[in-house]
Structure 1
Amino acid sequence: MNGIAKNKGIFLENYSFGRALGVQIRVVGALTMRELQTRYGRDGLGYLWALLEPLVLLVVLYLGFTLLGRTQHAGMDLVPFLAAGIVTFTSIRTTVGRLSSAIESNRGLLIYPHVTPLDTMIARAVLETATFIVVFIIIIGGAWLIDLSSFPSDAFGIVTALSAAMCLAFSWGMVQWGLCVIWPTFDKLTTVLWRILLWTSCVFYTLDDVPLQFRHYLELNPIVNIIELLRSAFFSGYLSPITSYGYVNCWILGFSFLGLFFERTLRGRALMS
């Protein structure tokens, strides 16, 4: 009898967890669709611009590099070389910014018992991740079709690097949200921070281009690590000085712990502000 009761308790516990998970998935899905319609409109034209914006930037830079006589960089085709830097960096920056304002933009929905501040951030992260993947596939696929890019040498490595980029952006976004709650003017400082990071994240160059005395400082930047790992996965002939995800994972875990701590401890303060 004790065994039957124990099994029944385990079953009920798993059933309750499954129901709660199902509700959570439906809530995040509804928030994601609401975010999509609110931000880009029901006709989808706004979302089309979200896809075209990084593409336009890449085309401008590609033309600039081409006019300078640079059709390759360190043996890498120019389009995927630029895409790995530009698309990855802009996607991380955009996701972090979107998450830091997720609760403020969805404050009216938080009166519902099943909607939590974390749900609003997850929904925005899902939308930004989908946009990131679609943009990257369009650029790389289009460049390959018109013979401006070779086929990626390590598809699994590319998926891993892109996943790391979005995990970093999500955890970083939670931390930035918490810092903005504690220090409202912090959001203004992030503009300066991202401008500095744009030029110190190997977006337009590789880590091998940097003199050794400065390279060690850039290696501390997790975005540099992701971009370099992504390029190494795409081009078999490029071996980056950075070959491990361990450092990036440390940043992701650290940001996740701090971000979840902020979300739990500052939730009431954020809703009352």
Structure 2
Amino acid sequence: MSQVLDAPHAAGPAVPDHGDLPALAARHGLTVSGARPTLTGYVRQLWARRHFITAFSTAKLTAQYSQAKLGQLWQVLTPVLNAAVYFFIFGVLMGTSHGVPDFVPFLVTGVFVWTFTQSSLMTGTRAIASNVGLVRALHFPRASLPISYCLQQLQQLLFSMAALAVILLVFGVPVAWSWLLVVPALILQFVFNAGLAMVLARLGAHTPDLAQLMPFVLRTWMYASGVMFSLTQVAQRTDLPGWVFNVLQWNPAAVYIDLMRFALIDSFTASQLPDHVWLIAGGWALLAGLGGFVFFWKAEETYGRG
């Protein structure tokens, strides 16, 4: 019996130590499932899925008003009605139209451009949280989602621009070559919106309460951006300190709104723009776009978990 107990065990396959597993996996070409790619690899993945991004944004836009009897007409009616409400409150009751030439085109342009940023950030905040099932089921670069939502809002703005053009013509604003400046202004604003939406998408994925806070943040930002009134007129009436006026005028929402007003409304002249406005607009787009993209990419492995 003792001989049996003392006999050495039969030799079997060696079990690798856990510390050797990464080296073993690398030797056989295995990689971590869902690992974050390099930044350049991530850009390539996004480009490869560009058709998904555009199809997803178009489908979301189509479904947005699918249950309404007026259907896609609401894409134009919603910003127009918002502008009408703001005109009654600020233009008629509060008299902010005094001293502002072409106030209706001024107001409608501000509302349309601001709505583009506001809607992009609101939908971007919920981009991951509202698509958890999709994120967990399929492997794709998660930045596709906030970018798709911003593209959806850009498409909606382009529909609204048709109504804006009619309003400008009705109120006597002539067609001019400066209208072509709308294209670079919208490109810069889209890059800015997408970058900030990616920041909020990452934060919103782990902090759902952020979506409840955002309406208050955006409302405050709207009032500080001269959407319904002229920042220059307010500064003259209230004797704002110069640095406060500069902060208000250089904030990105005000910059993109003023660029669109300068492009579309002939009475809105370059004297009402901050110095180096295109440089400021490009700087905001670069800072938000590149910074937001890297910030979102850093957490790529965490989305949909927990």
Q: TM-score, normalised by structure 1?
A: 0.79
SS in 2 for 1:102: coil
Query: Which has the larger share of helix?
Result: 1
Q: How does 1:132-171 map to 2 (within 5 A)?
A: 132-144=157-169, 146-152=170-176, 154-171=178-195
Q: How does 1:1-273 map to 2 (within 5 A)?
A: 23-41=48-66, 45-64=70-89, 67=92, 74=99, 76-110=101-135, 111-113=137-139, 115-144=140-169, 146-152=170-176, 154-209=178-233, 210=235, 211-213=239-241, 214-237=244-267, 238=269, 239-243=271-275, 244-273=277-306
Is 2:75–2:159's contact at 8 Å kept on the other side of the alignment? no
Deviation at 1:231, TM superposition (A): 1.8
Deviation at 1:48, TM superposition (A): 2.4
Q: Kindly provide the amino acid, as one letter, of the partner of residue 105 in structure 2.
A: P
Is 2:105–2:171's contact at 8 Å kept on the other side of the alignment? no
Deviation at 1:45, TM superposition (A): 4.0
SS in 1 for 2:143: helix
Deviation at 1:119, TM superposition (A): 1.5
The superposition leaves residues 65-94 of structure 1 with CA deviations (integer Å, 9 ceiling, x where unpaired) of 664697966453122200221111121011
Question: Which deviates further from its counterpart, 73-82 or 244-253?
Answer: 73-82
Question: Which deviates further from its counterpart, 152-161 or 130-139?
Answer: 152-161
Question: Which deviates further from its counterpart, 63-72 or 33-42?
Answer: 63-72
Q: Kindly provide the amino acid, as one letter, of the partner of residue 254 in structure 1.
A: L
**C-alpha distance in 2, partners of 1:72/1:208?**
12
**C-alpha distance in 2, partners of 1:22/1:167?**
16
SS in 1 for 2:49: helix
Percent of aligned pairs with the same amino acid: 21
Q: Kindly provide the amino acid, as one letter, of the partner of residue 274 in structure 2.
A: I
Match of 1:4 in 2: none
Which protein, 1 or 2, shows the higher relative CO under an 8 Å CA cutoff with sep ≥ 6?
2
Q: Kindly provide the amino acid, as one letter, of the partner of residue 105 in structure 1.
A: S
5+ residue gaps, structure 1, are: 1-18
Deviation at 1:188, TM superposition (A): 3.2
The superposition leaves residues 6-40 of structure 1 with CA deviations (integer Å, 9 ceiling, x where unpaired) of xxxxxxxxxxxxx9787423212331233234433
CA RMSD of aligned residues (A): 3.0
**C-alpha distance in 1, partners of 2:47/2:283?**
30
Is 2:124–2:201's contact at 8 Å kept on the other side of the alignment? yes
Match of 2:6 in 1: none
**C-alpha distance in 1, partners of 2:68/2:240?**
51
5+ residue gaps, structure 2, are: 1-43
**C-alpha distance in 2, partners of 1:74/1:161?**
26
Deviation at 1:208, TM superposition (A): 1.5
Figure out how many residues of one structure are paired with residues of the other and give that number. 253
**C-alpha distance in 2, partners of 1:103/1:216?**
35
**C-alpha distance in 2, partners of 1:51/1:125?**
17
Task: Report the structure number with the largest CA radius of gyration.
Answer: 2
SS in 2 for 1:203: coil
C-alpha change, 1:199 and 1:46, in structure 2 (3 Å) is same
**C-alpha distance in 1, partners of 2:45/2:282?**
28
Is 1:87–1:132's contact at 8 Å kept on the other side of the alignment? yes
Question: Which deviates further from its counterpart, 157-166 or 84-93?
Answer: 157-166
Deviation at 1:202, TM superposition (A): 0.8
**C-alpha distance in 2, partners of 1:195/1:249?**
24
